Amino acid sequence: MNRLIVTILVILSAASAFETPAQDAPTFTVDDSGNCALEWPGVANRTYFIRHSSDMVHWQCFPVVKRGTGAPERFEFTRRQRSR
């Protein structure tokens, strides 16, 4: 019985070592010219796909993939790009 408990604790400890860090919420801004910017604190080694939807049901990806470096990330686009 003790051996089983130790094995479970080791597995749980190993699993917690691989937990992903929390992601802070992004900010979204639109200026008077219709230029949009999405900014967020990047998490190192996390891959970001930026998706958009006009109806919150059907989603499409922007043609960009960002790899987090631990520094702030930013993606800019215009309304014309967004409406594809």
pLDDT value for 71 = 94
Distance CA 64, CA 60 (A): 11
Q: What is the mean pLDDT of residues 6-21?
A: 50
Residue 69 has pLDDT above 50, yes or no: yes
Three-class SS state of 10: helix
Q: What is the mean pLDDT of residues 8-14?
A: 44
The answer to whether 40 touches 72, Cβ cutoff 8 Å, is yes
Q: Which residues pair with residue 51 across a beta bridge?
A: 61
Report domain extents, the chain: 21-82
pLDDT value for 56 = 86
79 or 76, greater pLDDT: 76
Percent of the chain at pLDDT above 90? Answer: 20
Q: What is the mean pLDDT of residues 25-29?
A: 90
